[in-house]
Amino acid sequence: LALLAFLSVSGAEGGQIDGLELVLKDDQDSFELGQPIELRIEYENHGSKAFFVERPGYSHTKGLKLKAKRGECRYESSFLHSSAPIEYQRFAYIPLFVGDRFVTTLPQFNDLLGVKLMDLRVPGTYQLRAILKSEGQRVEGFVGPIWRGTVESEPFSITIVEPSEETLARWTTRLR
């Protein structure tokens, strides 16, 4: 099962900002408590001209943020960014020609021993969404036009269920 989230912003038509569309995917919609969740994200240029977008994890402005909601409880990650030296910034931009798509995997979250990007520790149904924010001047030249703006995905649902006996045994062993 693929979960799709198309970006939308208040007042924007068609869920696109200057031609950029973002899709979040996962092959499943139900996870055991403590089971790592690994989302894939696709950037796609539906505009009429090429541009560059900042790769997740390289942004020095804002970048990509994940949010989750379960009932009245709210969870959110910090913006995904790095403190890479300036000489590595050439790797920070992804060229997207008209019709191009770039797919990458986000860091796992919800793993008991893994990255603490976002912890969803209570069984239930969560509404997940992504926010992509790129700030700064519209730069032409060195890497071409850099896409700037803020977009937010439509929410989609995942369910966290109680862990199985097998999963509990595996985690108990790992925690020793």
- Number of Cβ atoms within 10 Å of the Cβ of 143: 15
The answer, yes or no, to whether residue 55 has pLDDT greater than 50, is yes
Among the listed residues 37, 8, 62, 14, the one whose alpha carbon sits nearest the alpha carbon of residue 119: 37
DSSP bridge partners of 45: 20
pTM of the model: 0.73
Residue bearing the bigger pLDDT, 16 or 71: 71
Q: Evaluate if residue 171 carries a pLDDT over 60.
A: yes
Least Cα distance to 131 among 146, 112, 150 occurs for 150
**Distance of alpha carbon 58 from alpha carbon 134, whole angstroms:** 11
With beta carbons less than 8 A apart as the criterion, state whether 115 and 107 touch. yes
pLDDT at 58 (0 to 100): 63
**For the CA atoms of the chain, what is the radius of gyration?**
18
- 2 pLDDT exceeds 50? no
pLDDT of residue 8: 30
Which of the pair, 31 or 149, is modelled with greater confidence?
A: 31
The yes-or-no verdict on residue 96 having pLDDT over 70 is yes
| pLDDT, the chain, mean | 75
**pLDDT tens digits for 26-48?**
888 899 988 888 888 888 898 88
115-144 per-position pLDDT tens digit? 566 778 889 999 988 888 887 766 555 556
| 87, burial (CB in 10 Å: exposed 0-12, middle 13-18, buried 19+) | exposed
